[in-house]
Amino acid sequence: MTLRFVLILLTLFLSLSISADRTRNDCPTAWSPTAWSQTSNPIRLDRGLGVNIHFTDPQPGEIKMIAAAGFRWVRMDFVWAETEKARGHYDFSAYDRLLKSLRPFDIGALLILDYANPLYDHDAPPRTEGTRRAFADWAAAAARHFAGRRVIWEIYNEPNNKMFWRPQPDVNEYVALAIAVGRAFRLAAPNEKLIGPATGLDWPFLEACFKAGLLDYRTAVSVHPYRQTDPEEAANDYCRLRKMIEHYRTRSGSDGNNRTSLASANVEISIVSGEWGYSSGWRGMSEEKQGALLAREMLTNLANDIPVSIWYDWRDDGTDPNESEHHFGLVRNAYHDGRDPLFEPKAAFLAAQTLSVFLDGYTYQRRLPVGSDSDYILVFSKGNELRLAAWTTSTSAHRIAIPGKEGAFRITKHNGENAGTVSAAQEGLRIDLSTSPLYLIQQSANR
């Protein structure tokens, strides 16, 4: 999970090739909570917010701090080479410790089955029949070992990236591996969740995977929607991906088997945002802007039926101000034993925490039309309680009136700061929008 910049440039190129107009909503079903979702469990932030980590042994108090920010999932590499150091002998103890540390905080693990093993094919990716069989055996053993312990399994990390599939990505090689693992899971642990392919929005690669029949072995499709542009653009990408899933889920692939478990059983194949963040070290970025973009990213995902959203990254990877890879974190790199907080929070940590509190138990209802495609007013509810999230992608702050809203609303900024109270007038609820979200909590109704 390195070289974010390479992946982001690729994603940006692909996005630009689709449309030069990034503000237009090309998908009529985007931002609609019922357009695609077939689940009886409404999508909620307090069930699906996650963060990438790079450890199996957290610092004392670290998982408590992750939970305090509202995270209910952590995503971590489950590295083949570190868990099979002698052929056929598996040591999962490091991940036993990790899951034990997560359990008191009701945090699940998204574990990535990934990378090569020097025991096989001279440390090359699993591209030969024998190595694929060994990888699948190892994956199945892991699934059996951790069955029923709130784990989502992901098959590989960015196999379309030559950094992770050397010397050059080959979708047919990945497909062969993924099918082998899917079959092994079906026999060893049929109730465990298996997702993939954990790529960027590489449309040819994704389509080749679906055409080959991989959807039949997936409970969800995971993608990494990185970009240096507005997160709201991902709504159209999700729409395009869903259409592709729907097109291929009922078709026969190169697998050649009569598949009945998913594609032909009318079971929803959802989309997981498996890795996506903004570096505060990018040119033109700041820690404050990173926090606002985190909030907008998660709101975009919620409003587009994404059940699990993983932010990259938990800790800053380093301190070099000229290395953007070091600054994806929600907290700074240094651990401070005996101090509260243990890690220094960045603005993005406060943004995650504020959004988690604001939407705890709430489900997305709809996006209100207010005259401009650049303005976003999202409605969330819990029983009879109503809350709004409001922002704009326009670089010019401006005032709008939300029609049909009555009563008084308390306003909280995305970073948790109190912004006062506003009451509806005859023309509606008037608020000032900027690129930083505001959260409105209904206090009372006019009588």
Task: Give the pLDDT confidence of 173-219 residue by residue, as tens digits.
Answer: 999 999 999 999 999 999 999 999 999 999 999 999 999 999 999 99
Q: Binning pLDDT at 50, 70 and 90, where does residue 265 land?
A: low
- Count the neighbouring beta carbons within 10 Å of the beta carbon of residue 363: 15
Residue 357 CB burial class (10 angstroms; 0-12, 13-18, ≥19)? middle
pLDDT at 34: 56
pLDDT band at 386 (very low <50, low <70, confident <90, very high): very high
User: How is residue 250 written in tokens?
Assistant: 């009922």
Q: Give the model's pLDDT for residue 16.
A: 37
Distance between CA 162 and CA 49 in Å, rounded?
29
Best CA proximity match to 113, nearest among 212, 162, 180: 180
The β-bridge partners of 402 are 429
Q: What is d(CA 220, CA 270) in angstroms, rounded to the nearest whole number? A: 5
Number of C-beta neighbours around residue 14 at 10 A: 16
In CATH terms, 4-358 corresponds, of 3.40.50.2300, 3.40.50.10320, 3.20.20.80, 3.30.379.10, to: 3.20.20.80
What's the first-to-final CA gap in the chain, in angstroms? 55
The residue ranges of every structural domain in the chain are: 4-358, 368-444
Closest CA to 368 of 338, 419, 405, 334: 405
Omega into 190 within 30° of 0, i.e. cis?
no
- Say if residue 8's pLDDT is above 60: no
Q: 119, exposed or middle or buried, with CB in 10 Å at 0-12, 13-18, 19+? A: middle
- How far apart are the C-alpha atoms of 385 and 406, rounded to whole Å? 13
CATH of 368-444, one of 3.40.50.1370, 3.30.365.10, 2.60.40.1180, 3.30.230.80: 2.60.40.1180
3-class DSSP string for 288-303: HHHHHHHHHHHHHHHC
pLDDT in tens, 153-186: 999 999 999 999 999 999 999 999 999 999 999 9
- Tokens 């903004």 locate to 278
Q: Is 410 exposed, middle or buried (0-12, 13-18, 19+ CB in 10 A)?
A: middle
Residue-wise pLDDT for 283-308, tens only, equals: 999 999 999 999 999 999 999 999 99
The answer to whether the CB of 274 falls within 8 A of the CB of 224 is yes
Contact 127, 173 (CB under 8 A): yes
Note the pLDDT of residue 61: 98
Mean pLDDT of the chain, nearest integer: 91
Strand order in the sheet with 438-444: 363-367, 375-382, 385-392, 438-444, 408-413, 418-423
Q: Tokens at residue 4, please?
A: 């974010």
106 or 428, higher pLDDT: 106
Check: CB of residue 412 under 8 Å from CB of residue 377.
no
Give the CA angle between residues 383, 39, 63 to the nearest 5°: 75
Q: Do 382 and 363 meet the contact criterion of CB atoms below 8 Å apart?
A: yes
Q: What is the pTM of this model?
A: 0.91
pLDDT tens-digit profile of 315-351? Answer: 999 999 999 999 999 999 999 999 999 999 999 999 9
Banded model confidence at residue 435, pLDDT cuts 50, 70, 90: very high
Q: In 3D, which of 69, 11, 124 has the Cα closest to residue 343?
A: 69
**In angstroms, rounded to a whole number, what is the distance separating the alpha carbons of residues 276 and 338?**
31
